[in-house]
Structure 1
Amino acid sequence: MAIMVRSWERLLLASIHDVSPRFESEVDSLRDLLSPHVGYRIAMLVVPNHWGNAPIVAGSPFASRLRDWADAGSEIFLHGFYHRDQARHQTRSARLKSRFMTGGEGEFLGLSLEEASVRIAEGRKVIEDITGRAVAGFIAPAWLYGPGALEALEEAQFALAEDHFRVWSPATRRKLASGPVITWASRTRARLASSLLAAGALRHAPLQTLRVGVHPPDVRHPLLIRSIEATFNHAARNRRAARYADLLD
């Protein structure tokens, strides 16, 4: 159940990306890391078939765990279908985003309306059949959306969606929160260093809603673990751990 958000409240939203059988042990580690700070209020961003070779199969142990997380109160978001970007991008802007903003992971950046709609419908069905409840919303891999994806989200009438700089409702076209999300990158030493600097600054930002997104590779780097802990410890001083659905009120 969503809790009424008072206009003066400062909120903390926590999410685990790339929830998949491929990263089951890393997801467990991330839940252990976040739970002392936010309890069950963790958004789980689920990839139905990561890179086309890690499907979530109904009746499997991982599917049972996914249902258990939903039953415990975690919000279950659809997070693409394959996560991998295999589109042929038509514009220079999209090609640059695909190359520099993510390592080939922006699946929904170059999809047409028809392609995006099919993947959304199929992914939604996989998750909802397993959990027995509606998905909380849709968040694109790498937070990257092309025009086709945005149109497909509106047609699918998702209550919630998110990109790097906002949370909004595709169903109502209403912006629900704004400000950059805190996340970490570790593909290169330069990205790791820059994400540590950004997290250190953003955790002090005067945002009403602070969003923090973690990824499976984060658990492999002690520096990132310490930064994640510092971010949640700081947020706990004056923020309430919330669910994305709370923003709808």
Structure 2
Amino acid sequence: MQTPRQSLVVSIHDVSPLTQAVVHTMLADLADAGVSRTSLLVVPDHHKKAPVAHDASFCRELRNLVSCGHEVVLHGYYHLRPPKQTTLLKSLITEHYTAGEGEFFDLSQEEAAERLAKAKREFAENGLHPVGFIAPAWLLGAEAEAAVKDAGFQYTTRLQTFKDLATGREDLSQSLVWSVRAAWRRIISLGWNAYLLNRLGENPLVRIGLHPPDWSHPAIRRQVLRIVRATLAAREPITYEGWLHRARV
């Protein structure tokens, strides 16, 4: 098997009508830095406030972006997990690490299947046909993953891996990601991502995962664009779907 060419995937999480304006700015900045295509992680009904299926102009914009080489990825359904009576470890993961957004962390297979089917139907009715599913905060439980595979999605990712659901193959590639909810988190993120990029330098796939709040912090925004420009000197920007096809060759 041939080794895939070195690649860069830039993904923008939490894309929805609620974040549309800042995503415009992010895409423009990334294009200026040389990123011609991204994976757009779209939430069907972000926090139960923004149903994509009812927003014709937003869907039209997504279709235009796909026609220009970007990719739409299904990103949960509500991107929201109501608090539950659970173990301390699960509480730490779902309430503190993710601020209550780990929607697919502990859904049953049946619950996950219902949300996936609804999202696929609504997206298809608006001319959108995602081949990948990525859970909010990359937290995908075993039952939910089985539902994702049964729903026909071809791949998923977690923080440290890309998984081909059809073959079971996993590629190790930890995503660079910034945490911006507090000043100390932002400081740590800047140092950690500089270190992580150096450690992943020879990896066939480098992943950069962005969230709309990142663009509210100039130091984060500058570092992201600096890393993108440096990385593109030796890598080709592709989507996750592009990486899937490349890895299967």
TM-score (normalised: structure 1): 0.91
In structure 1, the partner of 2:132 is 137
Q: Does the alignment pair 1:151 with 2:146? A: yes
1:94 touches 1:110 (CA, 8 Å); kept in 2?
no
Where structure 1 has 5 or more consecutive residues not aligned to the other structure, the ranges are: none
Matched, 1:178 2:146: no
User: Amino acid of the residue matched to residue 104 of structure 2?
Assistant: F
**Which of the residues 114, 137, 147 maps onto 2:110?**
114
SS of 1:203's equivalent in the other structure is helix
Q: Secondary structure at the match of 1:137?
A: coil
Encode CA deviations 1:192-244: one digit per residue, 9 max, x unaligned: 11111111112222322100011110111101111101110110121111222
- CA gap 1:59/1:225 in 2 versus in 1, 3 angstroms: closer
2:100 maps to what in 1?
Answer: 104
Asked if the contact 2:6/2:204 (under 8 Å) is kept, the reply is yes
Paired position in structure 2 for 1:187: 181
1:23 to 19, 26, 34: 19
1:128 CA displacement: 2.3
User: Retained in 2: the 8 A contact 1:181–1:210?
Assistant: yes
Q: Tell me if 1:36 matches 2:32.
A: yes
Distance 1:234 1:138, change over 3 A: same
The reply on whether 1:168 has 2:158 as its aligned counterpart is: no
Q: Distance in 2 between matches of 1:87 and 1:196?
A: 30
Q: Deviations over 1:176-201 (max 9, x none)?
A: x2121001111111111111111111
CA shift in 2, pair 1:223/1:242, >3 Å:
same
Query: Relative to structure 1, is the Cα distance of residues 201 and 152 closer, same or farther in structure 2, using a 3 angstrom cutoff?
Result: same
Within 5 Å, give how 1:1-249 maps onto structure 2.
7=3, 9-58=5-54, 60-86=56-82, 88=84, 90-130=86-126, 132-175=127-170, 177-204=171-198, 205-206=200-201, 207-248=203-244, 249=248
Structure 2 CA distance for partners of 1:120 and 1:201, relative to 1, 3 Å: same
For residues 53-100 of structure 1, the C-alpha deviation after alignment (integer angstroms, 9 at most, x for no partner) is 111134621121111112222111000010011152644432221133
**Are 1:87 and 1:110, in contact at CA under 8 Å, matched by a contact in 2?**
no
Question: What amino acid does structure 2 have at the position aligned with 1:197?
Answer: G
* Structure-2 change in CA distance of 1:47 and 1:8 (3 Å): closer
Q: What amino acid does structure 2 have at the position aligned with 1:179?
A: S
RMSD between aligned residues? 1.8
Aligned-residue identity in percent: 32
Q: Does the CA-based 8 Å contact 2:6-2:234 persist in structure 1?
A: yes
Check whether the contact 2:83–2:100 (CA below 8 A) recurs between aligned residues: no
How many equivalent residue pairs? Answer: 243
4+ aligned runs moved over 6 Å, structure 1: none
